Amino acid sequence: MPLLGPEVLIATRNAGKVKEFVPMFEAKGIAVKSLLDYPELPDIVEDGDTFAANALIKARTIAERLGVPVVADDSGLCVDRLGGAPGVYSARYAGEPSNDAANNRKLLEELAKVEADAALQDGSDARGLSPARFVCAMALVDAEGRVVAEAEGACEGVIIGEPRGERGFGYDPLFYIPELGQTMAELTLEAKNERSHRGQAIRRLWEALS
């Protein structure tokens, strides 16, 4: 991975993401910097209609601004019963500014509405665990903003009715992985990186660069 060099810039201000990125890049001997190190830079307008489009927007915007290679990801939660929502709007599902607790409350409220509507329409009981997946698209661009590699990862699970776990961030406390018997927020950082959509995307990025 000569393009990355000894240090990589990750185009995010999400401290939770940075915490996950650090050990995965350090395992390759690469130090991590993020937009938390550049508070003077303005927020990036993420107006793409797919995770991949938003990842490229972030990577290219920062590469062109700073003149360095950049890795960016865009990720979110897609819930089957909500038609794939919140999707690309995951971070701001409950509105601006982004707030994890508010997003989780809205997610449960929207699922409750779907269950109530199903009961009214045909008398069925729609209560239960809704299949869902975390999706991550990742892009690496060079200092001129040209695409070097792209990768995607996904993690399947279900949404539970109340938060569990103190680790992670975002929707992790509601995202339950049946095979592990834990929510994403109950996993250690090492276990989460092994299983998560983001961990999968990074490993596929390494493969694309090898």
- d(CA 135, CA 51) in angstroms, rounded, equals 8
The one catalytic residue in 37, 47, 49, 74 is 74
Side-chain-facing half-sphere of 190: CA atoms under 13 Å: 1
Q: Are residues 73 and 12 in contact, defined by beta-carbon separation less than 8 angstroms?
A: yes
Q: Are residues 72 and 44 in contact, defined by beta-carbon separation less than 8 angstroms?
A: no
Q: DSSP states of 157-181 as a string? A: EEE-SS---SSS-TTGGGEEETTTT
Q: CA torsion sign, 193 to 163 to 132 to 75?
A: negative
Residue 74 falls in the annotated catalytic set: yes
Question: Which helix (H) or strand (E) element contains residue 136?
Answer: strand 130-141
Binding residues for substrate: 12-17, 75, 169-172, 192, 197-198
Binding residues: 12-17, 74-75, 169-172, 192, 197-198
Q: Are residues 208 and 156 in contact, defined by beta-carbon separation less than 8 angstroms?
A: no
Side-chain-facing half-sphere of 73: CA atoms under 13 Å: 29
Binding residues for Mg(2+): 74
Q: Are residues 42 and 72 in contact, defined by beta-carbon separation less than 8 angstroms?
A: no
Annotated catalytic residues are 74
